[in-house]
Structure 1
Amino acid sequence: MEDKLASLEQALSQDINALGLSKPVSLQDLTAALHLKDQAATTDQSLSEFLQRAPATLIIRTYRASEQDSTETDALVGAVMTLAKRVQCPRLATLEVELRRALVPADFPIVAAHSSLAGAQPKLALVEFGGRYYQPGASPPEVLNRWEVCEDLARQLAERSLETEKGKYAHLSREAILEQYLQRLFRTGWGADEEMKWVVHRTAAMLKWPVPKEAQFTPQ
């Protein structure tokens, strides 16, 4: 376990060094600062530079380096944003969304919409966010919004499934109950089919029920 932790810390330190910060900062000092502990060993300029340059995933990994667990999203994001405001990080306008997007489950399907601009030579219409360009539907705010909708839907479906298991669907297996709801979701138009499959897959995980075959999907 200690060897694994040391290996993770070494990889983190290498990623931090690769940012090319004007003044080297240790992993321990960065982690302490992100947890809003004593920051005497790290200047505000160094912290601001780290928050400006580091990918959201690296900020999250650095925050979690001292505990190696799944810190509650709101606590993690709140601490990082508090620090970002204190050191006046230029990335303030987009950082919270970037962090929350990075915490979206890796298996959540990203359904990009293909949009083009009219003209003699049609061009792909891209969405700009934080200085980067994305296909419509794939930008951090859009993905985050779709995940929040689907996560909420999965929680509602979990409650509903428990109720119907004791009621009108009492004669069905748990897998069949979720299959019934999946077919309904396909017909609602609330999202892409892959998203609706993810919703049922997530519901099954919440309830510890078997996943219907039709809800199986390949994570992107």
Structure 2
Amino acid sequence: MNKTDDYLQIINHSPIPTFWKNSERYFMGCNQKFLDMVEVEDVGSLIEKLDIDLPWARNWELFEKDDRQVLETGQTVSRLEQIPSGEGGVVWSETIKHPIIRDGKIVGLVGFCKDVTIERRLQEIERERSIDKLHLKLADLVDKFMNEAQHTKLSIVDQRLGISHKGNKINRQQISLSCREQEIIYYLSIYKSPKEIARILSIIHDKDISVRAVQTAISDRLYVKFDVNTTSQLLERAAAYGLIPLRMPS
């Protein structure tokens, strides 16, 4: 057995996926580990073919660029590659390509691969988890910002209205409005008087609604719910809470 056969025996039994090409970049052989990695059964389907003719053809330009650099300069090239496999999947490989030199002349190249597909998938899973955690943190920050903005907005409204809440603050969630109260706030917001509101509601609901009933709803219920003393304060605070209907409540 000559040295070449010895080398081939060593390579074929190596646990490292290995391939080699001639100086024209034609695929000339590989070991079983390489076939297993790229999910190709027969080395004969690869021999004397360029990358453009092989299962990983879609990345042939990148592979050819690295091959040319090795063959033309004699430099070793190392790269993380995506290699489309024979079964339609994608293999991530840390590939190192060395020149094959005989009698001082570059006659080909040999490539050694490390399958890092599992490691890459684990990294992607961890990255997705990190992104999910970041989204949750951002959502919390946005929620906190919105709450603080709402509080600031209400504080400004209170200052404008001259309202002081000594530990008796209300919030948006504590205010529950009946349909009648929503109707009254809506019509107050479009500058209707209690008398006009009573007349409109009587027509809409086809029953007599007195001015006194409207005034009582405003002063005895709405003022209390919003913790205000005047209609202008009521509308300011309702607007700050987003509780003024955009259209007539149905």
TM score, norm. by length of structure 1 = 0.25
Q: Relative to total residues, which structure has the larger strand share, 1 or 2?
A: 2
Per chain length, whose mean CA-contact separation is higher, i.e. which structure has more relative contact order (CA < 8 Å, sep 6+)?
1
TM score, norm. by length of structure 2 = 0.23
